[in-house]
Amino acid sequence: MPSPAAPRPLEGLLVVSLEQAVAAPFATRQLADLGARVIKVERPGSGDFARGYDTAVHGLSSYFVWLNRGKESLTLDVKSDSGRAVLGTLLEKADVFVHNLGPGAVGRLGFGVEALAELNPRLVDCAVNGYGSTGSWAQRKAYDLLIQCQTGLVSITGGPETGARVGISVADIAAGMYAFSGVLAALLARATTGVARPVEVSLFDALAEWMSQPAYYTAFTGVEPRRLGTHHATIAPYGAYPAADGTEVLFSIQNDLEWKTFCTDFLEDAAIVDDERFSSGANRVANRAALDVFVTAAFARRTSDEVVALLDRLRIANARINQVAEFLDHPVLRERGRWHEVQTPGGPAPALAPPIDIAGVTPVMGDVPALGEHTDALLAEFGLEPGAIEKLHADGVV
């Protein structure tokens, strides 16, 4: 008989989120996947502005569908006195409060760190912001591409002629991941010490951490990493080359043993192994143009299928450059059952299982909520009488 499913790690935890866009919703969606109950507080009428980014999924935003499954939507005007009172009631009973409003907005609402500690000493407060809460940039607006620019990521991404934005919201995603792990660490600390400590994550700090390797390289060599398209700035050969049929295949040489095998069996010229220009990783980078002559010629002698087959046989890492449509049907996803179905207000949609796979635990992967779908039920659950709920509707608070 199959063993019974294990309890989800975060079952019983209540998360209240005052969130928008990508970073904070990504953090709370992962908490929801692991069993936490997430109440998403949204503006009456419009909600999280990410709902309007596009209409790709049954008329819904692809961003919103990705980031908000498994949450309950409560519409609430938190700028009104009655709306703030409702939010306070939620936070009194919550375990975690995640928010990424504009600089200082949560404090102006009366829910700063000190106020929250008085309201609910067991509450883990997680603030996601742009440049941190201290320093001269604390009040500055921050969006994903702005952070990519400020950290230097755009300067090392793209081709030789111009820099480029990374094709996904990498700063937001980085901050969301650190907020998720920061909340888990704070919950563990609360469980072991009894103290709930606030968590703060900035988009700038998150992406700055991811920029550490090029930062070290630049600081210690005095040379900025070059923009080389699909080629690696500090490792060679490591990049994509066109095969005889015009299809590009990317491959990577990581050590001297692979280099020798590549020279003898792929380049079919063992003498290249002893060529001083290519005798070390640093020399191969310095003499990249000369090396590319040999690699390009070897690729041109074979079709892309032949290139992949030979590199696979030599156990040299390689990859075709897939289009997004090809990724959707990738064998790694298909064979391992990574695609699941979630419900949205417009109909069913495919969704990838969470990357964290805990033995015996089935992730929640709940429905994507319609705007305000759970408002009345939540208000009643948290103690409001029917007449009070009707008044909140009449006053436009919910």
* Whole-angstrom distance, CA of residue 217 vs CA of residue 205: 19
Distances (CA, A) of 203 to 121, 171, 177: 27, 6, 10
Radius of gyration of the chain measured on its C-alpha atoms: 26
* Whole-angstrom distance, CA of residue 177 vs CA of residue 128: 11
Quote the Cα angle for 247-248-249, to 5°. Answer: 120
Distances (CA, A) of 128 to 30, 59, 105, 339: 15, 29, 12, 29
Query: What are phi and psi for residue 259, nearest 5 degrees?
Result: -60, -45
Q: What residue type is 326 in one-letter code?
A: E
* Whole-angstrom distance, CA of residue 377 vs CA of residue 278: 69
How is residue 60 written in tokens?
Answer: 């819904």
Query: Known catalytic residue: 232?
Result: yes
How is residue 150 written in tokens?
Answer: 């400020």
**Active-site hit among 58, 99, 231, 232:** 232
Distances (CA, A) of 312 to 249, 315, 318, 319, 371: 12, 5, 8, 10, 49
Positions marked catalytic: 232
